[in-house]
Amino acid sequence: MPRLSIIILDRPEPTNQQVYRYVLWANAPAARQPFYAALAGPTFASAWKDALAADNTALQNGSVVEKVDTIQVPVSATLAEIRAFLQTRWTDYQAVITSLNPWQRYGTTWDGTTWTAGGVA
């Protein structure tokens, strides 16, 4: 499990104070962790400069997946509303990481005669 789920980084657009850049961390299903680890690589580091060594290790080994994105909030948005917007984004992201499986047929092979099923749960 990730230590944190949402980290607000900054306001990347000096002329638009309603844009926030943030990080989402999601828990990856165990069977897919080697694939996320391969995507991240052994030297991957979080976009959040204050990530702990354990956080970066979790990202590198694929047990945690990171997404960096931005959100534009309404001018009238309160801090509570901004937090709620981000919580919704995290919930949606975690649901995608849990349910989307691009490797469900990984390793399926055909030898010219017979198909052998592969796949990752």
Residue ranges per domain, the chain?
A: 6-116
Mean per-residue pLDDT of the chain:
97
- pLDDT, residue 40, reads 97
Question: What phi-psi label fits residue 27: left (phi over 0), alpha (psi between -120 and 50 degrees) or beta?
Answer: beta
**What percent of the chain lies above the pLDDT cut of 70?**
100
- Is 90 exceeded by the pLDDT of residue 1? no
Could you tell me the pTM of the whole model? 0.91
Query: Cα-flanking dihedrals φ and ψ of residue 2, to 5°?
Result: -65, 145
Can you tell me whether residue 71 is helix, strand or coil? strand
Query: Please, are residues 8 and 14 in contact by the beta-carbon 8 Å criterion?
Result: no
> What pLDDT score was predicted for residue 103?
97
pLDDT of 85-118, one tens digit each? 999 999 999 999 999 999 999 999 999 999 999 9
